[in-house]
Amino acid sequence: MLSPMSKRKPYPERTDIEKVQSQWKKLSGLHSREEWSGAVVRAATAAEIATNFAIRKEFESRGQLDATFVDSLLLWANGLEGKVNRLLLPLCVGSKKHKTIKKLKKTAQKVNKERNAIVHKGEFKGKDEASAAIRLTRQFVEDLVGLYEPGFKLKGKTF
C-alpha cells in the first residue's frame, strides 16, 4: 500500500510494464548526466523485463500456472538471450508472433552483447555508442511489448 507521502508504487509491486517504464526513465537520467555505460545497462534491463512480460503473457494464454513456477523458469533461462531462446521462441512456435520474435532474437543478441561488454569486460561506452544501443533496445522493447499490447510506446527520450 502506498503511504500518503509517497506517489510511487514500490518497485517490487509494479507490473512488468511499469518496471520497463521505470528503467527507461532511469536510463534517460543517466544518459542526460553523461553516464553512458550505465544507461546502456539500464536499457538492457528494460529489454529483459519486457521479455519477462512477453513470456508471462504466453504462459497466461495457455492457462493458469503458478506464478512461483513461472518466476523459477525466468531465473533458469538466465538473461535476455536465454529467455528469448529457451522460453519465448519455443512458446511461440506455430503462432503468428513466432516470425516477429525470431527477428527480434537478432536484436536481443546485439543488446545483450552491448550489455555484456560493459558488465563482464568493464568496457565504457561513449555518447554515440550508448545512444545507438539505446535506440536499438527501444525498438526491441516496443516491438516485443507491442505484440501483446498494440500501440505500446516507451515514455521519454528517443535518443
**Separation of alpha carbons 101 and 142, rounded Å:** 12
**pLDDT(82) > 70:** yes
pLDDT tens track for 57-70: 999 998 888 999 99
Would you kindly state where each structural domain of the chain is located, as residue ranges?
16-146
CATH of range 16-146; options 1.20.58, 3.90.550, 1.10.3470, 1.20.120: 1.20.120
**Separation of alpha carbons 39 and 21, rounded Å:** 14
pLDDT of residue 143: 98
Identify the band that residue 4 occupies on the pLDDT scale cut at 50, 70 and 90. Answer: low
pLDDT of residue 7: 80
Q: Is 22 within 8 Å of 11 (Cβ atoms)?
A: yes
Identify the band that residue 97 occupies on the pLDDT scale cut at 50, 70 and 90. Answer: very high
pTM of the model: 0.93
**What is the grid cell recorded at 147?**
505484440
